[in-house]
Every structure is written in structure tokens, then in C-alpha cells.
Amino acid sequence: MSQIVPAFLVESFEEFETKLRLVEPHTKLIQVDVLDGSLFGQTNWFDAEQIGTLKTDVDMELHLMVKNPLPVIETWNKHVPTFKRAIIHAEIDRPVGAIVDQVKDKLGLEVGVAVNPETPLSAIENVLHTIDQLTIMGVHPGKSGQAFLGQSVLDKIAEARQHREDLVIEMDGGLTDELIEPLTNMGANRLCAASLIFKDPDPTGKLQALNERLMGLGAN
């Protein structure tokens, strides 16, 4: 069954902890955005040492929108006990396959690769059968609250599912209530939600309602 993954794009430790406590009762996984200005221009807060002091059972995956992901991954692996998965971008000018191997084999973490809306799956065909997750961007990276880019994203999800039936496919960006059913029908397993949850007057209740909706779709 598919799951909702609350996505964190934050500017401070206080904002991170506030959001974590809001979603903690109704999720087993969150995605933490990492922007250092090197790949997409924007920056945000993602201090591993401070996050590692928080008591939580929620697993965390990192969406690494950076040119050099390994130092960040190593720091998080050292300080954050519930860090489970690193997602690196296909668009970096470094050997993606070598990074995937190092993170999986030497650090013992799961690895995902993210592809921008304009990046074809052929760009990552050398790692498509070794990664644990494919993250398909529904918007251009860097800002929360953007509009979903439409049919091309759905088509890419369907194409990825045809390539590999067992692959975990995550859609990140632009999620709305109306998109949940078509995305799951196309084969998306994880749906990242930022604005959809955190701009709601009741973020905790919104996440609970989204989870219940997915359970209903899974029962059909």
C-alpha cells in the first residue's frame, strides 16, 4: 500500500521539531530536504547534530539537492539514529553509480535517486536496477508549494513501473488531494507532502485524513 511522507523544508531547529511533533503520531517516515545552494540555488537548515538530539522513532530520508552529497550523508549517518535512506540527484556532475555503491555498501543505508521533471529515466539506466527507491519530481526542486507539472510526471511513474515492478517509486512535489488516486493508480508507493499538510489549519488531522484515504484506496 502507498504511504504519505511528510516533507520538511525548514529554516531552524525549532521549525523542524514543531513539524516533527505534529506528524509524529501518524507517520513512520519523513523526508528532510537538504539545500546548500550548490545545485539549485536555495539553502535551508538541516543540522544533523541538533536533529540527532531529538527523541523520536520516526525514520528519516534525506533528499539531497546538493552537488556533493557524501559529506552530508556521512554526517547524518553519524549523528541521526533513525536516518535510513539517502536520495541523491541524477543531475549532479559526479558518478552517481559510485555514490550509490558507497552509500549502500560502506554506510549500510538505503539509496534513492531523484530525477527532475526534464530528466529522462534513460539518464539513470545504469543504476535503475540497483537503487532502493526512485524519487520522481513533480515540480522543479527548491521551493515548497509549487504546482504539479502534470501528465508527463504520471507518464514517468508508469514508465518506471514498467522497467521494474519491485521498485519503490516516490513522487515529490505538487501533491494535492485530487492527485492521490491517479498517482497511486500509476504505481507510486510514496507520496511526499509538504504544503498539503503544513499549510492546513490542522496538520496532524490532515495527515491522518490522508492516511485514511490511502487505506481506503488500498482496500478497493
User: Of residues 33, 57, 93, 155, which has the active-site annotation?
Assistant: 33
DSSP per-residue codes, 59-97? EEEEEEESS-HHHHHHHHHHH-TTEEEEEEETTSSS-HH
Do 169 and 148 touch, CB atoms closer than 8 A? no
Q: What is the CATH number of the domain that holds 72?
A: 3.20.20.70
Element (H or E) spanning 160, and its range?
helix 151-163
The total number of structural domains in the chain stands at 1
* pTM for this entry: 0.95
User: Of residues 36, 59, 101, 172, which has the active-site annotation?
Assistant: 172
Annotated catalytic residue 105? no
Q: Domain limits at 128? A: 3-219
pLDDT at 149: 84
pLDDT in 10s for each residue of the chain, 220 residues? 799 999 999 999 999 999 999 999 999 999 999 999 999 989 999 999 999 999 999 999 999 999 999 999 999 999 999 999 999 999 999 999 999 999 999 999 999 999 999 999 999 999 999 999 999 999 988 777 778 888 899 999 999 999 999 999 999 999 999 999 999 999 999 999 999 999 999 999 999 999 999 998 875 5
Q: Is 184 left (phi over 0), alpha (psi -120 to 50) or beta?
A: alpha
Annotated catalytic residue 101? no
Beta-strand ranges (E) seen in the chain are 3-8, 29-35, 59-65, 83-89, 110-115, 133-137, 168-172, 190-193
pLDDT at 220: 52
pLDDT at 192: 97
Residue 92 CA to residue 115 CA, distance in Å, equals 10
pLDDT at 147: 87
